[in-house]
Copies of this chain bind each other. A is one copy, B any other.
């Protein structure tokens, strides 16, 4: 025998066992169907793109993390998100699309991060975006939380909150405080409030702005009350800055229409601390938290941006979108025992042969499949104990056993693997029994 290579999966790459994969796929399917309900159309762009296209905007961390390589004369890279490929796509196929253009894409992206618990180098993102041609109504910003709400409801979550803010309110407020130049830095600090607490935010702010300004900022981000009360308090601040006024008006519209799109008040909240990244978003921003696991961070985020295609085209294309990081979500749900994969199965029946007369076995499997069931057969030369051990291992609920007596009497033995009960009956009756379980 030649020397063997050790088979190993690279660190930072999620690879699941079949039962886990079944659950992962189920979640992916629910997300996809939820997106379709809102009229988003599927796209599937390549994983490899020309490096110059992917890096049109990138810089800093992205550039360091990107998988980039030469093949022949080509400078290639793996996509690190689904937004840049969307910008490319919308520019490239502009004439063939109709706007507002709603697309979803669910696919893997690649980031060469330092591998650590819960950080992946290959990760699924599930994105939706609505892209306007020149302009895009604010009503779209109010519809997005409805997509988030229904997606997470469909995934089986009850206790979660969609947090909403508007970047223009923050920007306008900083303009008013004459802190325009420091706005980015302040936002970056405020963004950490969930992680480091308000005392630490205050201290960090004191390093860069005056005490009086810090007080104003802290007062602002601590505005409390119901959504309506928050809006009233913002109005009462009587800030004349145009950006602020525009942002407040947008937030009011979004808060109003969210309800009409069917999101219960319990599931959304205006949160003035949410800033969401640094320079990408320009209006509405979203984050979503599991109420009992807020420390896990946002499980669905996004927002409004002014111009998707600015690096590729002179056309102005505003958009609004969100992303669910499915690989990370699956990891945190598993780690926190919020999902269990052990009973996942897509198999309805295992047909086990205990005779070498395989004709009946094959015909039985064929009949079961024709009735709509998912069926595996095991005709291997194995002891019956081993065959049942396999059945246990794959968590199949129904086993049909075909031995010599069954063949002779034209019946099958059906075993319920959960109760352990076993009975001999006509195939037709076994099918009904299985289907009614």
Report which A residues bind B (CB closer than 8 A).
1-2, 4-10, 13-18, 21-22, 24-25, 36-39, 41-50, 52-53, 56, 67, 69-72, 74, 76, 87-89, 91-93, 96-100, 102-103, 108, 110, 112, 121-122, 132, 135-137, 139-140, 142-143, 146, 150, 257, 260-262, 311-314, 346-347, 350, 358-359, 361-363, 365-366, 369-370, 373-381, 389-390, 393-394
Contact = CB atoms under 8 A, between A and B. Distances in A.
A260 B69 CA distance: 51
Given A38-B376, A48-B67, 14 more contacts: A7-B92, A10-B49, A10-B74, A15-B45, A24-B44, A36-B374, A38-B369, A41-B347, A47-B108, A99-B390, A132-B380, A139-B361, A140-B379, A262-B366
Nearest to A360: B260
Contacts of A146: 366
A25 B260 CA distance: 32
A313 B4 CA distance: 6
A365 B56 contact: no
Given A48-B110, A376-B38, A92 B43 contact: no
Contact of A72 (B50, B112, B137, B376): B112
A71 B112 CA distance: 8
Nearest to A28: B44
A255 to B, nearest CB: 13
A311 B4 contact: yes
Copy number in the complex reads 2
B374 A5 contact: no
Contacts of A135: 380-381
B379 A139 contact: yes
A407 to B, nearest CB: 13
A204 to B, nearest CB: 32
Contacts of A261: 362, 365-366
Contacts of A49: 9-10
30 contacts: A1-B314, A4-B311, A6-B312, A7-B87, A8-B53, A9-B92, A15-B45, A17-B97, A18-B97, A21-B42, A21-B43, A21-B44, A24-B44, A25-B42, A25-B44, A37-B369, A37-B375, A38-B374, A41-B347, A47-B108, A48-B67, A48-B122, A71-B112, A72-B112, A135-B380, A137-B380, A137-B381, A139-B379, A143-B362, A150-B369
A76 B8 CA distance: 12
Contacts of A52: 5
Nearest to A55: B5
A165 to B, nearest CB: 21
Given A6-B312, A53-B8, A377 B21 contact: no
A266 to B, nearest CB: 17
A74 to B, nearest CB: 7
Contact of A347 (B39, B45, B137): B39
A376 B39 CA distance: 5
A218 to B, nearest CB: 36
Nearest to A394: B98
Contacts of A17: 93, 96-97
Given A39-B375, A48-B122, A10 B89 contact: no
